[in-house]
Structure 1
Amino acid sequence: MTSHVEIFAHGVGGSTDLPVPLSFALIGAAWALTATFAIVALAWKHPRFDPAKPGRQLPAWVSRAVDSPTARWVIALMALLFALWVLAAAIWGPDGSDSALPGAFYVLLWVGLVALSVCVGPVWRLLSPARTVYRICGIVRRKGPDTSGRSYPQRWGYWPAAFGLFAFVWLELASPDPGSLAAIRTWLLIYALVMGVGAGVFGARWFARADPFEVYSMAVSRLSPFRRAPGSGRIEVVNPLDHLPTLPMRPGTVAVLAVLLGSTAFDSFSQAPAFRNFVDRIATGVPFFGEAGGATVLRTTALVVFVAVVGTTFWGAARATGGISPQERQRLPGQLAHSLIPIVVGYIFAHYLSYLVERGQETVVRLADPFGLGWRLFGLAPDDVSYVLSQHPSVLWTIKVACVVVGHIVAVISAHDRALGLLPQQHQITGQVAMMLTMVGYTFTGLYLLFGG
């Protein structure tokens, strides 16, 4: 398979992956369906995964090194300098497809953050340039970094982060020109203003609740094998299935995960020729907006529908059980929300892995020559980019299907185990049926979109 470069909805140049063959999709669907009903009907009948279960603590020097103020400041300042480097490339570097900004924004940040958080934990809390600037300002003012005039309203939960994540995916998938440097700069300016004003009013807690990237990193990091031991705070290695249920249950948690999963599914759907042709045919008939505006309205509507369908189906499936009080049923969506994380992560890797590997390389090379002057920092040159996945399509197809199916199986295991601890014994099987069918629906839809996209 040869790879060619084009500019499309993501706003970055990308190699077009061939759709997953039907045989691969059918095999994945069969595995997912079989595993689902085998787990529900035949698996263990008592909860096995406990977030309070101790893990294997790493040597004390590892925690001391990670918690060292010097090390943390060095990493935070390096991340801030990298952000300023990208910003300088965006302002004074080449325009259009030669700019490093879209790749840094859509690939290194959006997809790379998932990979990094799953591997080592919620890293954006340390890497966030907004947090670092806030801490520096606190030192300059000789005030504690958490000093603020007002407490963060608990009823807001993660809703600000959910809206921020939707704003990001709207820019990437539904806006008139996702690759526009002006549009990305405007988005980043608004993000910086919102983070700065919010932190000025509510303190550092604003970042933990409202920063879309920090909440995004926190959520997917629940699949990481590393966490802090309760009580001692030392870093320990744990079973990710024991780590998953530690996802905080706050207002907006389900909305955050619905935005992540629904937007990724819409991304696959929006690449289908049928949808593109539909938008091209109908856009001119949307009143008051013109052709470009009409296309944006249609894509935005479809994106909202995908997110809403994920959120409402999960919410309804979580509550579809008997034998519990209305108050307990109302809490079930939040108590089961962590089971969506493996599906989200699996589908993100299935859909965006080739972007991370190949577009990520291109972005790093462009950042080595940020102003288009022929620099070759660290010896990097355009010829160093390897399109290894695009050149081996069968390997890429296998990885895509495996990511979706493994994510589905881990989600089903997590939901099943959690349900055993929440549902009364006489409803432990029937109470899971709606949720398992919903997850099968997510997985089948994901495989179909990978096959047809």
Structure 2
Amino acid sequence: MTLNQSVTVWAHGVGGSTDLPVPLSFALIGAAWALTATFAVVALAWKTPRFDPDRPGRDLPVWVTHVVDSAVLRWSVALAAFFFTVWVAIAAVWGPEGSANALPGVFYVLLWVGLVAVSVVVGPVWRVISPLRTLYRLLGMTRRETSETSPLRRYSPRWGYWPAAGGLLAFVWLELASPDAGSQVAIKAWLLAYAVLMMLGAWFFGTRWFARSDPFEVYSMAVSRLAPFRRSPVTHRIAAINPMDHLTTLPVRPGIVAVLAVLLGSTAFDSFSQAPAFRNFVDQQAVSVPVLSEAWAGSLLRTVALLFFVCVVGTTFSAAARATGGVSRDERRQLPGKLAHSLIPIVVGYIFAHYLSYLVERGQETIVRLADPLGRGWHLLGLEPADVQYVLSQHPSVLWTIKVSCVVIGHIVAVIAAHDRALRLLPQRHQISGQLAMMLTMVGYTFAGLYLLFGG
């Protein structure tokens, strides 16, 4: 299969997968495992908390910390990412039109899915490679934060991660619900708006704006809580840590549940939107809207469905977290945020289940296009279209197993995380009954995810 033969229309960004749906037998086996594991954890697992966010982990050799903290390394990585961004910008402006351009692949595959893969392994990498953070530093704007007469304004703690949740929703809308997600004009406009908002916010609020409001930085930070490395809170050295301990360190700030609801709800909607019944419904109803064009009417219907999925995740999770006795009204209100970290394994598992083949195969295609950014027949680094290997598409049973495994493993890890945190938060009399609503909700997420993979 050649590169040109494999190209699909970017109708849903990274969506519109050409993978075959997961067979019913695989989905049923996964559902059985998930259900069994859930009730086994609630009924038979440990009765005292085991995971501690303050546990330091095992320090790696001192030289590892010195290398990671090296200004030379950090600037080298940041500048490499910055020049890569410039290279992509050149391809976007002067490269070929349509599917031969590298921009959609970089935006929807390498950035959106690749960032998860890297962050889960090494940590919140976006704060190092963010081209806007690098530009902020290159322009000398960091000096304003150390000046005694700094004009910076205070970033309100009440805002939390709400701006990042809005940015993520804007991204998934462009990817899944806009009239033409593959349009280079639309992607460039989104990126321009993103860059302007991030730099203006940083001008007023400093680098804290990036940490709270950059959708990609908050995205990377959240999924990095499954990484096996962190900086020890005791020695401040890089340490190997149990990911379950690391998971509990997710900051509890306003908007964190919204961030995770957008991530999980949008991925579920991406699967749902590929169902023939929904696509036929949108096509039929879009024609009957007199005020809007067919493209924008379809976009409106998809937008409503996308918001519905996001709201369902956020509402059901918040309700399940609060469905317990023995706590005060104020403590009950804080429970969704304190349990939000348990959603991360489900988010990561479903992202890999849904987008893995895109990362592996469309990612290769994108890199080949970047080797010829202007469409002039270049073969930089010796890369050619024939080098792309469609290994997952050619072995569907392997892909199906990976998909179901990602969903089920993500579910089991999430249930374990929620169970352990519940033991720490709930009164002893309600430690079992107080978990039932959350466990059933997570089972619902997993069954829905497997069904969508089966029916997608």
Q: Scaled by the length of structure 2, what TM-score is found?
A: 0.97
Query: 1:247-396 residue pairs with structure 2 within 5 A?
Result: 247-396=250-399
Deviation at 1:10, TM superposition (A): 2.8
Which amino acid is the alignment partner of residue 284 of structure 1? V
- Mean Cα deviation higher: 160-169 or 51-60: 51-60
Q: Is the 8 A contact 1:4 1:16 kept in 2?
A: no
Matched, 1:99 2:101: yes
Partner of 2:454: 451
Query: 1:86-165 residue pairs with structure 2 within 5 A?
Result: 86-138=88-140, 143-144=144-145, 148-165=151-168
Distance 1:101 1:25 in 2: 34
Partner of 2:201: 198
Partner of 2:29: 27
Partner of 1:221: 224
Q: Residue 46 and residue 378 in structure 1: after superposition, are their counterparts in 2 closer, same or farther (change >3 A)?
A: same
Partner of 2:73: 71
Q: Any idea what SS the aligned residue of 1:236 has?
A: strand
Which amino acid is the alignment partner of residue 180 of structure 1? S
Partner of 1:41: 43
Q: Residue 446 and residue 15 in structure 1: after superposition, are their counterparts in 2 closer, same or farther (change >3 A)?
A: closer
Distance 2:448 2:176 in 1: 19
Distance 1:19 1:337 in 2: 30
- Of the three residues 408, 417, 420, the one matched with 1:417 is 420
Partner of 1:426: 429
Distance 2:205 2:14 in 1: 35
Distance 1:396 1:282 in 2: 34
Q: Any idea what SS the aligned residue of 2:140 has?
A: helix
Deviation at 1:288, TM superposition (A): 1.6
Q: Any idea what SS the aligned residue of 1:390 has?
A: coil
- Mean Cα deviation higher: 145-154 or 380-389: 145-154
Q: Residue 262 and residue 440 in structure 1: after superposition, are their counterparts in 2 closer, same or farther (change >3 A)?
A: same
Q: Scaled by the length of structure 1, what TM-score is found?
A: 0.97
Q: Any idea what SS the aligned residue of 2:411 has?
A: helix
Deviation at 1:231, TM superposition (A): 3.3
Deviation at 1:87, TM superposition (A): 0.6
Deviation at 1:354, TM superposition (A): 0.2
Q: Residue 13 and residue 350 in structure 1: after superposition, are their counterparts in 2 closer, same or farther (change >3 A)?
A: closer
Count of aligned residue pairs for this structure pair:
452
Deviation by residue 1:286-329 (Cα, 9 ceiling, x = unmatched): 34212111100000000000000000000000000001111111
Q: Any idea what SS the aligned residue of 2:376 has?
A: coil
Deviation at 1:13, TM superposition (A): 9.5
Deviation by residue 1:350-396 (Cα, 9 ceiling, x = unmatched): 00000000000000000000001111111111000000000000000
Q: Is the 8 A contact 1:174 1:300 kept in 2?
A: yes
Distance 1:332 1:81 in 2: 43
Q: Any idea what SS the aligned residue of 2:291 has?
A: coil
Gaps of 5+ in 2: none
Q: Is the 8 A contact 1:100 1:367 kept in 2?
A: yes
Q: Residue 310 and residue 14 in structure 1: after superposition, are their counterparts in 2 closer, same or farther (change >3 A)?
A: closer
Q: Residue 428 and residue 14 in structure 1: after superposition, are their counterparts in 2 closer, same or farther (change >3 A)?
A: closer
Distance 1:160 1:12 in 2: 23
Distance 2:322 2:140 in 1: 45
Q: Is the 8 A contact 2:14 2:355 kept in 1?
A: no
Structure 1 stretches (4+) deviating beyond 4 angstroms? 1-4, 12-15, 141-148
Q: Is the 8 A contact 2:163 2:213 kept in 1?
A: yes
Distance 1:39 1:377 in 2: 52
Q: Any idea what SS the aligned residue of 2:88 has?
A: helix
Partner of 2:63: 61
Q: Is the 8 A contact 2:124 2:224 kept in 1?
A: yes
- Mean Cα deviation higher: 4-13 or 371-380: 4-13
Q: Any idea what SS the aligned residue of 2:8 has?
A: strand
Which amino acid is the alignment partner of residue 98 of structure 1? A
Q: Is the 8 A contact 1:12 1:179 kept in 2?
A: no
Q: Residue 187 and residue 365 in structure 1: after superposition, are their counterparts in 2 closer, same or farther (change >3 A)?
A: same
Deviation by residue 1:52-79 (Cα, 9 ceiling, x = unmatched): 1121111010110010111101110000
Q: Is the 8 A contact 1:254 1:334 kept in 2?
A: yes
Q: Is the 8 A contact 1:11 1:180 kept in 2?
A: no
Which amino acid is the alignment partner of residue 366 of structure 1? R
Q: Any idea what SS the aligned residue of 1:246 has?
A: coil
Q: Is the 8 A contact 2:426 2:434 kept in 1?
A: yes
Gaps of 5+ in 1: none
Q: Is the 8 A contact 2:353 2:404 kept in 1?
A: yes
Q: Is the 8 A contact 2:14 2:358 kept in 1?
A: no
Distance 2:16 2:383 in 1: 20
Deviation at 1:143, TM superposition (A): 4.4
Q: Residue 4 and residue 94 in structure 1: after superposition, are their counterparts in 2 closer, same or farther (change >3 A)?
A: closer
- Of the three residues 182, 186, 204, the one matched with 1:183 is 186
Distance 1:17 1:260 in 2: 21
Distance 2:440 2:396 in 1: 31
Cα RMSD of the aligned pairs, angstroms, is 1.6
Matched, 1:242 2:245: yes
Q: Is the 8 A contact 2:266 2:310 kept in 1?
A: yes
Which amino acid is the alignment partner of residue 191 of structure 1? Y
Q: Is the 8 A contact 1:241 1:414 kept in 2?
A: yes
Which amino acid is the alignment partner of residue 71 of structure 2? P
Identity of aligned residues (%): 74
Distance 1:149 1:197 in 2: 11
Deviation at 1:142, TM superposition (A): 5.5
Deviation by residue 1:142-169 (Cα, 9 ceiling, x = unmatched): 5457955211111000000000000000
